[in-house]
Amino acid sequence: MPPLNFSLILPLLTLTVWACLLLLVDLFVKRKGITALLAAVGLAGSLGLTISQVGSSGAGFNNMVVLDGFSIFVDALLLVAGLLGVALAYGYLKRMDLERGEYYALLLFSITGMLLMAQAADLIIVFLALEMLSIPLYVLSAFARPRLESEEAGLKYFLLGAFSTGFVVYGIALVFGAVGSTSLSAIVSAASSGTADVLLLTIGSGLILVGLAFKVAVVPFHMWTPDVYQGAPSAVTAFMAAGAKIAGFAALFRVFALAFPSLASSLTPVIAVLSALTMIVGNLVAIAQTNIKRLLAYSSIAHAGYILMAFVPYGQPNIVATSVAAGLFYLVSYVLTNFGAWAVVIALEKSEGKGLEISDYAGLGRKYPALAAAMTVFMLSLTGIPPTLGFVGKFYLFRAAIAGQFYWLAVIGVLTSLISAYYYLRVVVTMYMREGEPEIASEPWLNLTWGLSALLTVIISLVPQVLFAWASAAVLKLF
């Protein structure tokens, strides 16, 4: 295997070059809709290249970057999320008077960091990818300047994000001190041969866990989420809620399942408690929310806890592949449902910042029945009620927890899902059982996003075997 292999990262390279060209082209384009279209073309091209890699595997750049079924699955999901993010932003930015071409370039740069995160086989690459995906998101969070809440969101996200990055860097330094390398394969070799300093390795892995837990909004590292989600432009929040979660969990799965299985006895109880706390806190605090953006923020926190449930039995080699597949399946479910729900939020949001209270959804079922039906599907899916993809996803997650003998965690997952029904169904009740005269923005790409997401959420739930088979084939490899 040559030390450099650019074909492994061809989709990432293509998207990076495209994002740089987009910055230049935007200087000469007056209609920013053209910039959005070009961004979508770049994402679609990278998605095509990613799909062409199905069945391939290999390592390059001195085994710092790998290509396997897992990275291909995650990269494809990230690029689809990017396309949905562009579709949501197209009309929203124009309506909110935020239409600036650099938005799409920043979005593409963030996605390149996420793609690199999925392929990282070295802790240094994990750190670089984390910064590549985070820095554009800090800027995008404050994109609605001079609105104070948007500037506040960007500043909070930046300060707390930099703080969490410090944990990751310190953790990597300790792991290097324990092993003498940052390569995942070298960490495994040192741990299995007994040459690693177990104490340093355990502390270092714990600090890395803290940094990545911040990125996916796991309790108690979630405090930034409600304020940032509420203050940032809704199109940014929708993408951030999905993309950052996919990339963060991709890093968690790869780093811990491949490099730190020997530390499972120490880390598994911690991860299980974090999962339980995240589900409990996210769902309980969501009950008190009246703002739809804050409600979806706490919903996002709760779902991080559910996805983390698949990660708990990572140290059990007989079920780790099934649990990773359950996590990937649920990420697909979350991406479709998340973008659909945020598309409905964006449809009702007004330029003055109004239309974001749950009470503003009163009368939606009577006046806009198709939109209300789609929102109902998303709320049912987030709750985990059939026939939706969220129900099937939670079934696989609970099955993975039970297979790992974490029965108590599965029980907490079921109970918190029941609690979540209260605040999700409250939105449905408001839409259908209260009088109101809501006004929506009817934009072609926005309508396509919520309509297609609702259809796929139901249709895939009826034949989930195909998606789960692909997720099961997305095997993590150590080269």
Confidence (pLDDT) at 7: 84
**479: in domain:** no
pLDDT digit string (tens) for 6-27? 888 899 999 999 999 998 988 8
Confidence (pLDDT) at 94: 87
**1: in domain:** no
Confidence (pLDDT) at 351: 75
Amino acid at 216: V
For residue 338, how far is the Cα from the chain centroid?
A: 10
Cβ atoms of residues 369 and 344 within 8 Å:
no
Q: Is 402 exposed, middle or buried (0-12, 13-18, 19+ CB in 10 A)?
A: middle
- Omega of the bond leading into 136 within 30 degrees of 0 (cis): no
What percent of the chain has pLDDT above 90?
A: 56
Structural domain containing residue 15: 6-473
Query: What is the pLDDT confidence band of residue 78, given thresholds at 50, 70 and 90?
Result: very high
Confidence (pLDDT) at 2: 47
Confidence (pLDDT) at 1: 46
Q: Which residue has the tokens 């989420």?
A: 225
Single out the residue of 34, 130, 426, 95 nearest to residue 234, CA to CA: 95
**161: in domain:** yes
pLDDT digit string (tens) for 312-370? 888 777 888 888 899 999 999 999 999 999 999 999 988 767 888 899 899 888 989 99
pLDDT digit string (tens) for 360-381? 899 888 989 999 999 999 999 9
60 pLDDT above the threshold of 50: yes
**144: in domain:** yes
Q: Is 327 exposed, middle or buried (0-12, 13-18, 19+ CB in 10 A)?
A: buried
- What mean pLDDT comes out for the span 137-142? 92
Cβ atoms of residues 292 and 430 within 8 Å:
no
Strand, coil or helix: 131: helix
Which distant-in-sequence residues (6+ apart) come within 8 Å of 222 by Cβ? Answer: 278, 281, 282, 301, 304
**478: in domain:** no
Confidence (pLDDT) at 478: 67
What percent of the chain has pLDDT above 70?
A: 98
pLDDT digit string (tens) for 209-232? 999 999 888 988 888 889 999 889
pLDDT digit string (tens) for 39-53? 999 999 999 999 998
The pair of structure tokens assigned to 6 is 């650019």
Separation between Cα atoms, residue 324 and residue 400, nearest integer Å: 9
170 pLDDT above the threshold of 80: yes
Confidence (pLDDT) at 267: 86
Q: Name the most confidently modeled range: 138-152, 259-273, 294-308.
A: 294-308
- Dihedral of the CA atoms 111, 353, 91, 367 (nearest 10)? 120
Confidence (pLDDT) at 11: 93
- What mean pLDDT comes out for the span 379-386? 92
**245: in domain:** yes
Mean pLDDT of the chain: 90
Overall domain count for the chain:
1
96 pLDDT above the threshold of 60: yes
402 pLDDT above the threshold of 60: yes
The pair of structure tokens assigned to 358 is 């749950």
58's torsion region: left (phi>0), alpha (psi -120 to 50) or beta?
Answer: left
- What mean pLDDT comes out for the span 238-257? 90
Confidence (pLDDT) at 312: 87
pLDDT digit string (tens) for 406-433? 999 999 999 999 999 999 999 999 999 9
Confidence (pLDDT) at 38: 92
Separation between Cα atoms, residue 339 and residue 352, nearest integer Å: 22
Query: What is the pLDDT confidence band of residue 168, given thresholds at 50, 70 and 90?
Result: very high
